[in-house]
Chains A and B, each alone.
Chain A
Amino acid sequence: MTLTPPATAEAAAARVEPAAVDTIEGRSPWQLAFVRLRHDRVAVGSSAVICLIVLLAVLAPVVAHLLGHGPNQQFRTTGLSAEGIPVGPGSTFLFGTDDLGRDVLVRVLYGARISLLVGVVASGLAVVLGVIIGLAAGYFSGAVDTVLSRFMDVVLSLPYLIFAIALVSLLGPSLMVSVAVIAFFSWASVGRIVRGQVLSIKEKEFVEAARSVGAGHLRIMFVDILPNVLAPTIVYATMLIPLSIVFESTLSFLGIGVLPPTATWGNMLSESIAYYRVAWWFVAFPGLALLITTMAFNLLGDCVRDAFDPRGNRLFVAVED
């Protein structure tokens, strides 16, 4: 390539314009966020902790089998002292026992199953509900928006504990009811976030462009707008999981969640408060489990938000590969 006459240079340049980047396939914003997450030590650490908790929850029956301690099995002779006080951590009971002589370790692991299940399922329900309603409210402004927004306001302003107690006393406490109650009181905040995002995104020219090529409402909502509100939603969902876990524990603690003798962290904490002076392990391990789990999710949520933060994206200089 020595000399190029201007006329052909121009014609050729139209085709060779993208001089800087030479990858054929671009990395999606999701992939970029994932790459950033992978390089974030906190994100990797908290994900590892979450994975470990999930693994332990899944393997809870195996651990119970290996130890030979069922979750609701009471060891009145080995698990309680002569005065009926729980036994502290030792070789038989690694985390000690509770007031009924049950193995705290096994119960914490079984509790993790309930907590994670409720946390994930309730948050998932809340997100799906919130996204759909928020999307509809933001996209169809006017009457639809007014009705849906007011409804969200009402849900958000309900004193949720009182309502939860009332609902549970009406329906009777159970796992399903807990999930439903948590989802019901969580979706509205998701809906509000989504609505706000949609309001700003639907003013973008690409939405106009979609309309001008003849795209219908559903296509615009789900193909053009939804992917753009998903990032903040995912961040919020990650934060919602620990909230739901705490919510479930609260319900259980108050005795309106999952009923004893099923092991949940809330139930265990509730049972342990009378014993915190004589049996610290009884409070400490379920409390610690709750703390570590929520912390891990919250930290991960922070990292996910950082990974999606457009500031890392703004400077488009194509040097990757």
Chain B
Amino acid sequence: MSLLEVEDLQVSFSTPDGILRAVRGMSFSVEQGETLGIVGESGSGKSVSTQSIVGLTEGARVSGQARFEGRDLLTMGDRGLRRIRGAEIGMIFQDPLSSLHPHYRVGWQIVEMIRAHEPVSKKQARLRAIELLGLVGIPAPESRVHDYPHQFSGGMRQRAMIAMALALNPKLLIADEPTTALDVTVQAQIITLIKRLQQEFGTAVIMITHDLGVIADIADRVVVMYAGKPMEYADKRTLYHQPHHPYTEGLIGSLPQTGGRGRPLKSIPGMPPSMVQVPRGCAFHPRCGYVMDRCLDAEPPIREVHGGIDHRSACWLPPEAVGRRTDDSALAAQSARRHGGDAVIEPASAAQESTPA
């Protein structure tokens, strides 16, 4: 049994402009001790999908299933969730200032957090807080425990948040863009810290980020989200080297590559759709370079593709068509041929060149 199993999660909000369907059928699972990366751009629904699982999306309509060790989080109600949140599922966010209360000392907040879930004395809890702050690399934790959040720098606050998230030794840590607001050197410190703690305690991690560099560093398996849906599932090597979905391909192509100076980046044209009016068919089709007739009205299901073990993608391209980005000329030839022809897809030449992992 997986630690967390999410199936067909749907989250929608009602706005003055209509129903905003933030998540439109998200499924994923996290195993004990592994790191699952969820990548996507702003508005892709990557944060909402995890927030809704732990009951942090107020006013949203949530449906689907999210089984944490067999218990369905979506139906257990607020009291049950409160017991799980913090104790069994720890969370860190992009902006630690918004999750640390500005008027209370950092140590006190950790102490309260521990005591809310475990019957320990204040003194024990305090010692634990100091130990935790030391563990996450805050110098002189005995004195810093008395500080207020504003006396911490950005990186230290994120460390304090991690200390708090790990205080009760949770089985799962949800990290929602934990390094986005930080400088690279501090980001490296935090990622190293998360990795170290994960090894030490065997915590499973869901890393939500827009940064493929962070994913390459920390994730084992990756889900790529676009317009509220998962587009591709793969282990990270397959994802980087043999992506199947054109969106993944575009995302990786958008990154400046070493040695690519002076050449234009392969950007994805257009912009993400409004989640109130999601395009018909495949949500990515208006921006897709491989768009075919059937993409316009039939939404592609998630299917197995041939990149690696458990490699799945929601695209009508043939399952063999993985790893196109390694060969630009094949890609150009392929699309030129298609441009003249019709929606019939023959096994493309790129597919033959790709090597299954």
Contact digits for B331-355, partner A, Cβ 8 Å, 1 yes 0 no: 1100110110111000000000000
Q: Does A154 belong to the interface (CB within 8 Å)? A: no
A10 to chain B, nearest CB (A): 5
Chain A residue numbers with a CB within 8 Å of B335 are 3, 5-6
B343 adjacent to A317 (CB under 8 Å): no
Q: Does A218 reach chain B (CB closer than 8 Å)?
A: no
Contact A3/B273 with A315-B17, A317-B15, A317-B17 known, Cβ cut-off 8 Å: no
Check B286–A2 contact: CB distance below 8 A. Answer: no
Instruction: Decide if B16 touches A2 in the complex (CB within 8 Å).
Output: no
Q: How far is the CB of A277 from chain B (nearest CB, A)?
A: 54
Contact of A319 among B270, B271, B277, B342 (CB under 8 A): B277
Tell whether, in the assembled complex, residue A317 and residue B336 are in contact, meaning their CB atoms are under 8 Å apart: no
Q: Please encode chain A, from 1 to 38, with 1 for each CB lying within 8 Å of some chain B CB and 0 for all others.
A: 01111110110111011011000000000000000000
CB contact under 8 A between A4 and B277, given known A13-B270, A17-B270: no
A318 within 8 Å of B (CB atoms): yes
A312 partner residues in chain B, CB cutoff 8 A: 16
Residue in A6, A9, A17, A20 with the greatest tally of chain B CB atoms within 10 Å: A6
What are the interface flags for A288-321 relative to B under an 8 Å C-beta threshold, 1 for contact and 0 otherwise? 0000000000000000000000001001011110
Interface pick from B213-221, B234-242, B288-296: B288-296
Q: How far is the CA of A218 from the CA of B269 in the complex (A)?
A: 41
**Known contacts being A5-B335, A10-B267, is A20 close to B274, with CB within 8 Å?**
yes
Instruction: Name the residue on B nearest A315 (C-beta).
Output: B15
A96 CA to B336 CA in the complex, in Å? 91
Of chain A, the residue at the smallest CB distance from B276 is A317
Are A2 and B292 closer than 8 Å at their CB atoms? yes
In the complex the two chains form, is B291's CB within 8 Å of A4's CB? yes
Residues of A within 8 A of B293 (CB): 2
Complex Cα gap A2–B275 (Å): 24
B271 to A315, Cβ gap below 8 A? no
Which residue of the partner chain, among B15, B271, B274, B343, contacts A17 with CB atoms under 8 Å? B271
> Is the C-beta of B115 less than 8 angstroms from some C-beta in chain A?
no
A5/B277 in contact, CB under 8 A = no
Asked whether, in the complex, the Cβ of B16 is within 8 Å of the Cβ of A4, the reply is no
Instruction: Collect the chain A residues with CB atoms within 8 Å of residue B332's CB.
Output: 5-7
Given A6-B335, A317-B276, A319-B276: A19 and B286 interface contact (C-beta under 8 Å)? yes
Q: How large is the interface on A (under 10, 10 to 19, 20 to 34, 35 or more residues)?
A: 20 to 34
Q: Is B80 an interface residue (CB 8 A)?
A: no
Taken together as a complex, chains A and B put the C-alpha atoms of A14 and B268 apart, in Å, by 10
Q: How far apart sit A17 and B271, CA to CA, in the bound complex (Å)?
A: 7
**In the complex, what distance in Å separates the CA atom of A246 from the CA atom of B21?**
51
> In chain B, residues 240-285, which have Cβ atoms closer than 8 Å to a Cβ of chain A?
266-267, 269-271, 273-277
B15, B18, B343: the one contacting A2 at CB < 8 Å is B343
- Determine the distance from Cα of A318 to Cα of B292 in the docked complex, in whole angstroms: 27
Q: How far is the CA of A315 from the CA of B14 in the complex (A)?
A: 11
Does any Cβ of A come within 8 Å of B287's Cβ?
Answer: yes
Is B20 an interface residue when CB atoms closer than 8 A count as contact? yes
Q: Are B342 and A2 in contact (CB under 8 A)?
A: yes
Q: How far is the CA of A2 from the CA of B20 in the complex (A)?
A: 29
Interface residues in B56-79 by Cβ distance below 8 A to A read: none
Interface residue ranges of B1-60 to A (CB < 8 Å): 15-18, 20
B323 CB to nearest A CB, Å: 16
- Report which of A5, A12, A317 forms a contact with B18, defined as CB distance below 8 A: A317
Q: How far is the CA of A14 from the CA of B332 in the complex (A)?
A: 20
CA distance A65 to B143 in the complex (A): 86
> What's the least CB distance linking A275 to chain B, in Å?
53
A6 to B338, CA, bound (A): 11
Which of chain B's residues 292-339 have a Cβ closer than 8 Å to chain A?
Answer: 292-293, 331-332, 335-336, 338-339
Residues of B within 8 A of A318 (CB): 274
CA distance in complex: A2, B271 (Å)? 20
A4 — which chain B residues lie within 8 A by C-beta? Answer: 289, 291, 339
List chain A residues, Cβ under 8 A from B277: 20, 317, 319
Given A3-B339, A13-B270, A19-B286: 6 more A-B contacts, CB < 8 Å: A3-B290, A3-B341, A4-B289, A17-B271, A317-B15, A317-B17
Residues of B within 8 A of A (CB): 15-18, 20, 266-267, 269-271, 273-277, 286-287, 289-293, 331-332, 335-336, 338-339, 341-343
- 5 A-B residue pairs with Cβ-Cβ distance under 8 Å, sorted by A, are A2-B342, A4-B291, A5-B336, A6-B289, A7-B332
Q: Please name the 4 residue pairs, one residue from A and one from B, whose CB atoms are nearest each other, closest first.
A: A13-B269, A6-B289, A5-B335, A319-B17
